[in-house]
Structure 1
Amino acid sequence: MKHVSDLSRLGLFDAKVPRFTSYPPANWFSDSVDASCTRTWHSDASKNAEISLYVHIPFCRRLCWFCACRTQGTRNDAPLAPYVDRVLAEARDVRAQFVNGVQPHRLHLGGGTPTILSADLLDTLLSGLADIWGLENLQEFSVEIDPTDVGPARLDMLASHGLSRASLGIQDFDPQVQDAIGRVQSRELTQKVVDQLRDRGIEALNFDLLYGLPFQTARTLDATLEAALDMQPSRIALFGYAHVPWMSKRQVLIPSDALPDPKTRLALFDQARRRLLGRGYIQIGIDHFALPHDPLAQAYYAKTLKRSFQGYTNDTSPYLIGLGASAISTYPDGFAQNIPVTGQYANKIDAGEAATWRGYTLDARDHLKANLVEQLMCYHSADLSAAQRADAELMTAIDRVADHFDGAINWDGQSLSIDRWAHPLVRLIAVQLVTPSAVTSGERIYSAAI
């Protein structure tokens, strides 16, 4: 890959900053946002506000070692039905607070492993949500699926409720890599689930892949990509594995001495990017790829692409209501996150209380920064609004960062763009634009760039 020396000079392989892909990062959340705050945001919503719903199912039959998500293992189904009941209780309480009505546009089940729920429990959850929110006009209903923990009965139930997009976790097909990350999942099993989904009329498929894994090489990654492409997903998320065992204790099981170094990681991503572009996929932002007919690619070309805590989306609803333990809700005026520990979440719901734990309120300057970061994350460029150009502090920050990344950034006082070779620097550029003090050499944080 060209420009490796330039990327090195500009700090790509050395700078240590928190993971930064949207503004504000979740580590800025505080208890200044509580249940009274979200209640006001709900009741003040405009008439028939457009909303999207996210339901977090935190349970997994197995805990993959690479994962840093809010999940917990369970060897039996005992906690599942009570959890679904509590999610529905929370849903009823939140819906009642939208006194001016709502128009649900999207529903997404994430986790964890949503398909750990039996067909009957999925029916209970989805029927309950439909009764509470009225889901007859959904534009999209998507579910994260673990191919090792799903079956025809659950797929039939999801299809009967209108499943339109499925996201399959794969990560890597190489057996040695799978053993090293605690996720054994054969290509044949994955293909079987893909076929079952398509047999039920579900053609919109997302695949999650990882680069930077232990024992991963150019050869093994290429083989994984070829196997994945043979299944013809409409989207691929190609995430960089973040080794943060001080944050995710299970990652201590991953052999750190088998991880590729930063320059090899970058080469792996570039190899994968070129393969996907060569097969007709469009690169979306920093780590997503979509076929031209996919709505995400269409949003990219229409300049309506959005970046949220859940990644890239073409969802333009101003409200994303998160239900369940650790779920994050997005509002025009800020963010709110539910308490992450399932036992504490249960206690709150059983007591008839809101599960809100922490959040962040956006002021006028935050909106200016958030818009700038979103444009850079989506398009590696930004056209500043009059309000952004009138903000002296923001303009000073852009001037400073443009000087620091001289040769990588084009800045004319109104438009900011990052040269193609410097796109891997976008996280580092974004964090220095809005939080320059975050760049340190600390041990407990990790590279934002690759």
Structure 2
Amino acid sequence: MHNVLIIGYVWPEPRSSAAGSRMIEFIELFRAQGWRVTFASAAALSEHRADLAALDVPEVPITLNCDSFDAFLSELQPDLALFDRFFSEEQFGWRVEKHCPNALRVLETSDLHSLRDARQRLLKAAQQRAGSESEKQQQGPVAAGTDELFRVMADDDMAQREIAAIYRCDLSLMISDFEQTLLQQHFGVPAALLQHCTLMLIPTATEQPPFEQRAHFLSIGNFRHAPNWDSVLWLKQQIWPLIRQRLPQAQLHIYGSYPPPKATALHNAKQGFHVLGWAADAHTVMVQARVCLAPLRFGAGIKGKLADAMACGTPSVTTPIGSEGMHGELPWGGAIAGDAEAFAAAAVALYQDQTLWQQAQANGARILAERFDRQQSGQALIARLHNLRDNLQTERRANFVGGMLRHHLHKSTQYMSQWIAAKNRNPASNDGQ
């Protein structure tokens, strides 16, 4: 294997999102093998995107529902096609199979989108039963177990689409072992189709100021990511007032790319609630904070902000959803709380108690060392890809469900895409309709 094509749902932004950091980690891993990497995306070029040219990775803008991608694919002839999230596989998977049938097809799930969507719908349903906006924000994190999550997800279009994409690919990369177990035990996805891969670009901060040199609380996250925006609302309405009752001079600095006007409108210096927008370097601001707050009421995957906090030696307070899939049986690097009162109390305790803070910092360092070993995770992935490559036909034959789904679903997707492409080539044919 020497030629890799990554089809990005978006251009990677490692300074804006955990998904962007993870994508850069894949690129660097593949380049370290001596493989050529090409990154293609139909998304608009973003202002915070990574400098792929510096990694010797060509950027190729592509178009949805356009045969020009087929010509590009036929010329490139990749040995491996990595789809960034299942939306990319739906759009381009059938084209890769048609023009490069022997290329490995690998799905980077990023996180299980259908799980995040199910939890969001459960939260909205609980809030709809409330009366006022204040009562809605009193609703705590979604606490549904795997049986209930399965019931909500199983009848939903997104779960059916996402899991179908997993079956159609030769391998799907799972960042969360919780999500991998959910897929295997409740949806019956074969273990042979999944790879637990915790790769994420988490450079440890070389200088970590001690407790007494740090100040303020911090919260960070891309505002375009729905769980992050929801966490800011919960902070504003419920959690931060409780913290300020105990610490009247406390300050909260909220960072994140793409803040909408409704977010910046929450800024209130008198309340110590500072919405500061994009941070050019998350570690620079994280390493100065004493405590990181991540009150996520729904979500999925691994939370990059919490991994960054550990790398910066910054204890964090989060919810069970925030810590999910990150620490296994190890003690959390801070505190995990399931309601606003407990969350605020834990945040204040960490902020004031130096001994507690130092123990939390040590716990975070241990989680990174034992659960996010970059070398081990990278080597395991490369070995799995080589084994797949060597036994490709046998592995595909064993995945009969995947072959069946490719045959039927890709035909319908293919015909729809070809119809749109033909329509775009001949717009006059639609006149009068």
- What is the TM-score with the length of structure 2 in the denominator? 0.31
- Higher strand fraction: Structure 1 or Structure 2? 1
Larger Rg, first or second structure (1 or 2): 2
